[in-house]
Chain A
Amino acid sequence: MATEQAPGLSYAVRAQSSGSAIGRIAAYAILFAFVVFALVPFSWVILAAFDQHASTFAKVPHAWTLSNFAHVFSHAGGLRLVINSLIYAGGATVVLVIVTTLAGYVLSRFAFRGRRALMLGLLLTRVIPPTATIAPLYVIAIRLHLTDSYIGMILILSALEIPLGIWIMKGFFDTVPIEIEEAAWVDGAHRLRTAFRIVLPLAGPGVAAAALIAFIDAWGDFLIPLILISDPNKMPISIGLFRAWTSYTQVDWGLLGALSIVYMIPAVVFYLFARRALARGLAGALAGT
């Protein structure tokens, strides 16, 4: 492979192993610098959340407190935001799991004309950012009475995740051999019932991966509620944070910090669970975020 060869083998090997001690130290130093870069921006959010007198910039609190968190849940507006976000993200995840399980199963098990085109077409929809079609989406939502509507948000948020969800599901169903199902057919069991009794548990990791990714994306979405929701009682956390932040003068920074932490914890925890699936599902790759 190498065209310029070192003068002698033993020399080369020696040079490499001695060099790698320095290389190792340099590697840790570089990685540590990136750790700082990754973590420091969170310092304000975390410090402010526990500070009785938080302000716009990061400082170590004089008086540590948990009252900001208590506020998030006692303060009617704060609790409402959390509940709304749970309804939107939870609803979208349930819808996604149901429809992509069905679609993923038949796409994995049956050969039919247009199947391949359909899979590729779904992939192509991933390149359509909601940003580009936001104006028509708004008009369509108004016509269908889906603005300021829980159902509307749930359906639209799940629709955005469906193409990736189908790819993930189909991939997992592919790993379950058809013979397992066929054995059950002999006993006269109904085809779909066998599928869900026997195949679904085996494809469980796929369901979990698709569900986690859908939940994370729907939970964090900002653009869709920004255009669809104007009723303060139906706003999710993302819009609540945005409105609080833009009303600059009357902001309770501690409350904002605490709400941010409440908001990021499910996303981060689910992300860590989904990590392996993300790496494996290189295919669909989490192109959305």
Chain B
Amino acid sequence: MKPITSWRERLLVLACLTPALALVGLFTIWPVVWAVVQSFTNRSLIGEGALNPHYIGLDNYRSLLHDHSFYASIGRSAEFVFVSAILAQTLLGFLIAYLLATRPRWRLRFRSLFAIVFLLPLAVPETVAALAWASMADGTRNGLLNRFIGLFGVGPVQWLQNDAMLTLIIINIWRGIPFAMVLFAAALASTPTETLEASMVDGATAWQQLRRITLPMIRPQILLFLLLTTITTFGIFGLVYFLTKGGPGDATTIVGIYIYRQAFQFYEIGYGSAAGVLMLLILLVLGVGYVRLMRDQV
């Protein structure tokens, strides 16, 4: 890499960066700025707020902070993120990656075949995943989930009607395991085997190796995964909207659905933008952590 020395080079750099930065600026940065601006107005898609939107100060934020259903949506998102992503995806994804990883005295067969199969839930488009699970969670006796629990004499359960949140959590575990697996597999593959070999000579048990050697070594990658999955799971929309539209009632109205409803069902663009800004503030805290982790790679 070398510093820019002539105006021709300066022009080249500028010309090459502009198209990419213009697109990101227009469709990613500008919406954020615009969300902040609109959050101080009563802009709407119908009625008074559509014809003549005007500045209303912090009113949207005041209403949001008194809006029980907004808090509830944050709470649901937190539950969704914590149970499906932080707990289940992390543990199960790590378990699979650990079993498939090659270590001294541990090498399973069919590793890449397993890895390909495990990748499928994430590889299919969101809507196909949702449609597949719509049938799995069919409330009649014929739904596959009900046939499965029927083996234990339980059910049938109206999954998407009575236990919608639980069902969505199961679905998101299914969809998120592959991402955890890929990240952890890469982390495990990059750990040196010498330490493990040495510890075996010292008589360390498999459990001790995992606790004392492997886990401490891949700590940064575990942290990276926790951050990434928290951020992406917080932003989930399609899977939930496809299956329940946030219902029944408000039962699965996570933050993303709440914002969509405010903006496109109640046409309250200003109010929806304010909710989006609060969501971004939460994510920004996580994002700063993410950037700190990645800083050394620039």
Instruction: State yes or no: do A and B come from one complex.
Output: yes
Query: Is residue B23 contacting chain A, with contact meaning CB distance below 8 A?
Result: yes
Assess whether B125 is in contact with A238, with CB atoms less than 8 Å apart. yes
Interface-facing stretch out of B24-32, B62-70, B78-86: B24-32
- Which residues of the other chain, A, contact B228 by a CB distance below 8 angstroms? 285, 287
Query: Is residue B61 contacting chain A, with contact meaning CB distance below 8 A?
Result: no
0/1 interface trace, chain A 1-43, chain B, CB 8 Å (1 if under): 1101110110011001101100110011011001101111111
Assess whether A268 is in contact with B120, with CB atoms less than 8 Å apart. yes
Query: Is residue B164 contacting chain A, with contact meaning CB distance below 8 A?
Result: no
Q: How far is the CB of A238 from chain B (nearest CB, A)?
A: 4
Known: A16-B200, A285-B183. A128 touches B119 (CB 8 A): no
Closest residue to A109 on the B side, CB-wise?
B1
- Which residues of the other chain, A, contact B259 by a CB distance below 8 angstroms? 131-132, 134-135
Assess whether B34 is in contact with A139, with CB atoms less than 8 Å apart. yes
Q: How far is the CB of B211 from chain A (nearest CB, A)?
A: 10
Q: How far is the CB of B295 from chain A (nearest CB, A)?
A: 7
Known: A2-B199, A137-B27, A287-B228. A131 touches B132 (CB 8 A): no
Assess whether A127 is in contact with B205, with CB atoms less than 8 Å apart. no
Specify the main secondary structure of chain A where it touches its partner: helix
Assess whether A112 is in contact with B174, with CB atoms less than 8 Å apart. no
Assess whether A128 is in contact with B263, with CB atoms less than 8 Å apart. no
- Which residues of the other chain, A, contact B133 by a CB distance below 8 angstroms? 41
Report how far A109 CA is from B3 CA in the complex, Å. 9
- Which of A27, A106, A135, A219 is B273 in contact with, Cβ under 8 Å? A135
Closest residue to B279 on the A side, CB-wise?
A132
Assess whether B9 is in contact with A110, with CB atoms less than 8 Å apart. yes
0/1 interface trace, chain B 111-139, chain A, CB 8 Å (1 if under): 00011111111111111110111111010
- Which of A30, A155, A238, A271 is B23 in contact with, Cβ under 8 Å? A155
- Which residues of the other chain, B, contact A64 by a CB distance below 8 angstroms? none
Report how far A28 CA is from B99 CA in the complex, Å. 9
Report how far A23 CA is from B136 CA in the complex, Å. 32
- Which residues of the other chain, B, contact A166 by a CB distance below 8 angstroms? 20
Closest residue to A8 on the B side, CB-wise?
B203
Known: A41-B121, A42-B132. A129 touches B234 (CB 8 A): yes
Query: Is residue A68 contacting chain B, with contact meaning CB distance below 8 A?
Result: no
- Which residues of the other chain, A, contact B21 by a CB distance below 8 angstroms? 103
Closest residue to B19 on the A side, CB-wise?
A99
- Which residues of the other chain, A, contact B43 by a CB distance below 8 angstroms? 139
- Which residues of the other chain, A, contact B117 by a CB distance below 8 angstroms? 35, 38-39
Q: How far is the CB of B273 from chain A (nearest CB, A)?
A: 5
Report how far A102 CA is from B15 CA in the complex, Å. 9
Closest residue to B295 on the A side, CB-wise?
A120
Q: How far is the CB of A246 from chain B (nearest CB, A)?
A: 8
Known: A41-B136, A102-B16, A219-B125. A127 touches B2 (CB 8 A): no
Known: A38-B117, A44-B144, A99-B19. A220 touches B96 (CB 8 A): no
- Which residues of the other chain, A, contact B294 by a CB distance below 8 angstroms? 120, 123, 283
- Which residues of the other chain, B, contact A128 by a CB distance below 8 angstroms? 28, 32, 280, 283
Assess whether A222 is in contact with B20, with CB atoms less than 8 Å apart. no
- Which of B20, B35, B183 is A162 in contact with, Cβ under 8 Å? B20
Known: A1-B199, A110-B4, A163-B24. A271 touches B123 (CB 8 A): yes
Query: Is residue B246 contacting chain A, with contact meaning CB distance below 8 A?
Result: no
Which of chain B's residues 216-275 have a Cβ closer than 8 Å to chain A? 221, 224, 228, 231-232, 234-238, 241-242, 255-256, 259-260, 262-264, 269, 272-273
Assess whether A227 is in contact with B264, with CB atoms less than 8 Å apart. yes
Give the interface of B toward A (CB within 8 A). Answer: 1-4, 9, 12-13, 15-17, 19-21, 23-24, 26-32, 34-35, 38, 43, 92, 95-96, 99-100, 105-106, 108, 114-129, 131-136, 138, 140, 142-144, 174, 177, 179, 182-183, 185-187, 189, 195, 198-206, 208-209, 212-213, 221, 224, 228, 231-232, 234-238, 241-242, 255-256, 259-260, 262-264, 269, 272-273, 276-277, 279-280, 283-284, 286-288, 290-291, 294-295, 297-298
Interface contacts beyond A2-B199, A8-B203, A120-B295: sample of 4 additional A-B pairs, CB < 8 Å, sorted by A: A112-B3, A116-B298, A156-B27, A263-B127
- Per CB-CB distance, the 6 closest pairs between chain A and chain B, nearest first, are A129-B235, A220-B125, A127-B287, A2-B204, A44-B135, A12-B203
What are 25 A-B contacts with C-beta separation under 8 Å? A1-B199, A1-B213, A13-B203, A16-B105, A24-B108, A38-B118, A40-B144, A41-B144, A44-B136, A111-B4, A124-B288, A124-B290, A132-B256, A132-B280, A135-B262, A136-B35, A139-B269, A140-B27, A155-B27, A158-B23, A220-B127, A245-B131, A275-B116, A283-B297, A286-B179
